[in-house]
């Protein structure tokens, strides 16, 4: 299967490259000033629609908005414009420091489907297992995509599993890459945090090679380096073997040090008979470092580090996604599309400035702690046609997935009796943790779109999926819109959905051993649901999460300058997958993934858009957006997992993320000056320590970007995010040596705790 897929991709790339030397003589400069009505493909397979007239709620972030935000990471852009999108940045949480979870409408990271040009993007191999948002899930690493390559971003705020398959419970993010109408550009951005650290340097290049008949080959290269920040409090733990309490900051807390290299090729080549070959190649290499907790001399009890040591967890990640396809429009207006996508994430752990206590002074100080990998191969065949007034889309999809765990070097997990095993900071994966698991599934879908009258529009979809590891599921969707008045449209949709358990949820295992101050050895193991010990505790093979979704709302556009949309949504999810609490077992503890909980989420989304042209020639625009989402636990299925009585886990679902988010975006465009100002309010949230719930207050922040067009080709800008240096509220004194002392802020904070960040940037067209 993999060889066939690679051959298909190679053929597509080769056919596209054949036209690379036939350069079009068309000028791009005249095209760059043109603006068109924002349209979206996502949400219906019947074709693109003006997002304001969409039958389901959709947001579109345009290229102009991406530019004026000044942001160079995709998660930052989505956080800037989309209320209800949440991407907290935890620290001292192992792999989660390096691939933070991103959520929509307060649901899980793996309940949002991510597409590139309408094709499914693979998820990260990382399973979040620490106390973070997204615990027990694996999501897509959105920051692998070079922002300079993006034309626009479509966000579907509606259940869509019947149209796109697994994961589309909370919605869909569809990233559309630039076509051949863009000028070549080079840009850079330099910045730092006001309170120290966070220095970053970013540069990117976008080049478009025109082909015959408006074809193109676009190349994007992006390099970004980021220094760490430190916002830790005082370390009040015993620092010395004599028991004298320390008063120093020995454990840094903040964003990791990271370097990213992103490269992307996107192309289309047009041939006779309306045949088009297209390709997309995305690669990202990330090398990042962040620390674990400082090991005091009392903890270490070793002459190898007589003054203690700070373990550094380093991750090296390689992401790639290769898409090749061919499409043809037939004489009757019908079209077909055949594509192949292969994507992979390799996630390798290293630990430096550390030791293995069980090896004493013979321990190495650097370790290869092992690796995770996730591969996904998707083949799609889609067909669109129209019979009378009915638009029809149907297709078939085949998907192959593979997940691996590779053991680290022996020193990273070795153990002598009565001593802590493995490299401090992150113990390596053991040989018994190794896994090489695969599965496949196929799906069939049908999508119908019909205008009953000029005012009443219908869209329906049904999708059948069959998985080799858990069986089959069929899902449905029905959506209606009614143009009550020329300025007022009503809309509603109802659907069923599902989220297949990831291979990481079914097969991830890990082991860790610790020794307390009294010398007692405790082991903690993460077991797969099929492990005999887990089964004895009540574990069962994972099954898909099932959902019911309903949305109703309106779009009101009284004038050409003003538009308003408001939507209510309700999502009920059965058998949500969670990581259990630590369960005593023998001399240690175990935990496992389980279909533990049933929930409901409901809320509202409101959007207001206003554009006004001044007599001076300037344009003033305002975008206001508000999102509210409340999740409630209806019941727990598995009492043996300890989740039903866990204050921490119940709170994480219901209160770990802000329930509401307000965004007020202002833009003043008086060429050559453009000013963008963004005000955000993130609602309150709650966190738990020692079974006690603490509330953290709502937080305001503001972003500013001021750009000046020095010439037709050169634009320079200054700006900042969180420009007034807002910080989240702190933990009270909870009597802990870490929470509330080393870690003064909750790890759930939606905008982190690095404070204001200021930058300068420039973009040059050539």
List own/partner pairs for 49-54 with CB under 8 A and 24 or more apart. 51/154, 52/555, 52/557, 52/563, 52/565, 53/481, 53/489, 53/555, 54/491
Look up tokens 């008086």; give the residue. Answer: 670
Q: DSSP letter at 637?
A: S
Cα–Cα distance for residue pair 619/674, rounded to 1 Å: 10
Establish if 302 belongs to a structural domain. yes
Q: Give the pLDDT of residue 615.
A: 82
Cα–Cα distance for residue pair 603/30, rounded to 1 Å: 44
Cα–Cα distance for residue pair 226/431, rounded to 1 Å: 34
SS3 287: strand
Q: Give the pLDDT of residue 238.
A: 63
Establish if 503 belongs to a structural domain. no
pLDDT tens figures, 64-122: 999 999 899 999 999 999 999 999 999 999 999 999 999 999 999 999 999 999 999 99
Q: If residue 652 lies in a helix (H) or strand (E), which one and from where to where?
A: helix 647-655
Q: Give the pLDDT of residue 248.
A: 65
Q: Give the pLDDT of residue 300.
A: 63
Evaluate whether 429 touches 510 at the Cβ level (below 8 Å). yes
Establish if 584 belongs to a structural domain. no
The count of domains in the chain is: 1
SS3 327: strand
Establish if 181 belongs to a structural domain. yes
Q: Give the pLDDT of residue 244.
A: 46
Q: DSSP letter at 723?
A: T
Please, what is the end-to-end C-alpha distance for the chain in angstroms? Answer: 43
CATH code of 81's domain: 2.40.170.20
SS3 123: coil
CA dist list (Å): 561 to 558, 602, 610: 8, 30, 5
Q: Give the pLDDT of residue 524.
A: 87
Cα–Cα distance for residue pair 235/611, rounded to 1 Å: 52
- Look up the domain containing 624 and give its range: 2-29+36-494+532-540+551-568+597-765
Characterize the bridge pairing of strands 312-329 and 335-352.
antiparallel
Q: Give the pLDDT of residue 46.
A: 67
Around Cβ 425, how many Cβ atoms within 10 Å? 26
608, β-bridge pairs: 564, 624
Q: Give the pLDDT of residue 668.
A: 95
Q: Which residues in the chain show pLDDT less than 70?
A: 1-38, 46-51, 238-249, 299-302, 417-419, 513-521
pLDDT tens figures, 654-711: 999 999 999 999 999 998 999 999 999 999 999 999 999 999 999 999 999 999 999 9
Cα–Cα distance for residue pair 277/385, rounded to 1 Å: 20
Torsion angle, alpha carbons of 578, 584, 588, 594, to 10: -20
φ/ψ of 11, rounded to 5, equals: -65, -45
Which of 127, 7, 101 shows the shortest CA–CA distance to 593?
127
Establish if 578 belongs to a structural domain. no
SS3 579: strand
Three-state SS string across 557-602, please?
Answer: EEECCEEEEEEEEEEEEEEEEEECCCEEECCEEEEEEEEEEEEEEE
Cα–Cα distance for residue pair 257/48, rounded to 1 Å: 41
Establish if 448 belongs to a structural domain. yes
Which of 761, 720, 748 shows the shortest CA–CA distance to 80?
720
Token pair belonging to 415: 């153990």
Look up tokens 């998907």; give the residue. Answer: 399
pTM, full prediction: 0.93
Evaluate whether 127 touches 139 at the Cβ level (below 8 Å). no
Establish if 250 belongs to a structural domain. yes
Establish if 666 belongs to a structural domain. yes
Q: DSSP letter at 657?
A: S
Q: Give the pLDDT of residue 537.
A: 92
Q: Where are the beta strands (DSSP E) in 227-366?
A: 257-271, 275-291, 312-329, 335-352
């Amino acid at each position: 299967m993999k060889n066939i897929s690679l051959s298909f991709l190679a053929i597509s790339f080769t056919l596209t490259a054949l036209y690379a030397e036939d350069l079009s003589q068309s000028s791009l400069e005249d095209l760059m000033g043109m603006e068109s009505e924002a349209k979206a493909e996502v949400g219906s397979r019947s074709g693109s629609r003006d997002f304001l007239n969409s039958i389901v709620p959709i947001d579109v972030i345009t290229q102009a908005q991406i530019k004026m935000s000044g942001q160079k990471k995709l998660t930052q852009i989505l956080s800037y414009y989309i209320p209800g999108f949440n991407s907290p940045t935890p620290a001292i949480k192992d792999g989660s420091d390096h691939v933070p979870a991103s959520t929509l409408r307060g649901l899980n990271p793996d309940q949002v489907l991510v597409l590139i040009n309408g094709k499914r993007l693979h998820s990260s191999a990382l399973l979040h297992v620490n106390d973070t948002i997204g615990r027990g899930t694996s999501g897509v690493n959105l920051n692998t995509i070079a922002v300079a390559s993006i034309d626009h971003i479509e966000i579907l705020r509606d259940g869509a599993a019947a149209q796109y398959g697994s994961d589309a419970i909370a919605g869909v993010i569809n990233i559309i890459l630039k076509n051949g109408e863009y000028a070549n550009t080079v840009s850079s951005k330099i910045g730092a945090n006001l309170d120290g650290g966070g220095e970053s340097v970013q540069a990117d290049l976008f080049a478009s090679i025109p082909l015959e008949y408006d074809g193109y080959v676009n190349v994007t290269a992006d390099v970004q380096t980021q220094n760490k920040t430190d916002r830790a409090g005082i370390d009040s733990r015993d620092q010395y073997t004599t028991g004298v309490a320390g008063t120093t900051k020995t454990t840094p807390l903040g964003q990791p040090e990271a370097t990213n290299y992103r490269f992307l090729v996107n192309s289309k080549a047009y041939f006779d008979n309306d045949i088009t070959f297209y390709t997309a190649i995305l690669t990202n290499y990330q090398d990042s470092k962040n620390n674990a907790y400082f090991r005091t001399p009392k903890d270490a009890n070793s002459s190898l580090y007589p003054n203690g040591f700070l373990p550094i967890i380093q991750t090296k990640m390689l992401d790639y996604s290769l898409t090749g396809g061919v499409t043809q429009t037939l004489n009757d207006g019908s079209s077909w599309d055949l594509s192949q996508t292969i994507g992979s994430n390799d996630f390798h752990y290293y630990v430096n400035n550390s030791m293995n206590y069980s090896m004493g002074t013979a321990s190495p100080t650097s370790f290869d702690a092992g690796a995770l990998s996730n591969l996904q191969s998707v083949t799609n065949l889609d067909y669109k046609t129209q019979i009378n007034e009915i638009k029809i889309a149907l297709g078939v999809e085949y998907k192959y997935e593979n997940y691996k765990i590779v053991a680290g070097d022996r020193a990273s997990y070795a153990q002598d009796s009565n001593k802590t095993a493995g490299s401090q900071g992150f113990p390596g994966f053991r040989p018994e943790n190794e896994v090489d698991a695969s599965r496949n599934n196929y799906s069939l879908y049908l999508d119908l779109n019909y205008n009953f009258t000029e005012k009443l529009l219908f869209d329906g979809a049904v999708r059948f999926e069959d998985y080799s590891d858990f069986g089959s599921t069929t899902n449905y969707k029905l959506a209606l819109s009614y143009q009550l008045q020329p300025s007022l449209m009503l809309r509603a949709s109802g659907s069923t959905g599902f989220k297949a358990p990831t291979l990481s949820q079914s097969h991830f295992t890990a082991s860790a051993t610790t020794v307390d101050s009294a010398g007692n050895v405790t082991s903690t193991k993460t077991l797969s649901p099929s492990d005999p010990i887990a089964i004895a505790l009540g574990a069962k093979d994972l099954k898909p999460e099932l959902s019911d979704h309903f949305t109703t709302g309106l779009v009101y556009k009284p004038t050409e300058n003003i538009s308003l949309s408001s939507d209510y949504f309700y999502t009920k999810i059965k058998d949500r997958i969670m990581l259990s609490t630590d369960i005593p077992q023998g001399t240690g503890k175990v935990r496992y993934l389980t279909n533990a909980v049933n929930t409901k989420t409901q809320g509202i989304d409101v959007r207001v858009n206003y554009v006004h042209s001044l007599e001076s020639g300037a344009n003033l625009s305002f975008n206001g957006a508000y999102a509210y989402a409340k999740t409630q636990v209806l019941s727990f299925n598995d009492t043996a997992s300890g989740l039903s009585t866990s204050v921490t886990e119940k709170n994480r679902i219901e209160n770990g993320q802000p329930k509401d988010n307000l965004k007020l975006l202002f833009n003043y465009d008086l060429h050559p000056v453009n000013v963008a100002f963004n005000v955000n309010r993130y609602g309150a949230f709650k966190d738990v320590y020692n079974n006690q719930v603490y509330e953290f207050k709502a937080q305001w922040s503001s972003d500013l970007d001021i750009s000046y067009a020095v010439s037709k080709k050169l634009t320079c800008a200054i700006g900042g995010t969180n420009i007034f240096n807002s910080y989240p509220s702190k933990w009270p004194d909870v009597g802990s040596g870490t929470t509330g002392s080393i870690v003064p802020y909750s790890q759930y904070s939606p905008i982190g705790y690095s404070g204001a960040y200021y930058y300068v940037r420039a973009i040059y067209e050539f």
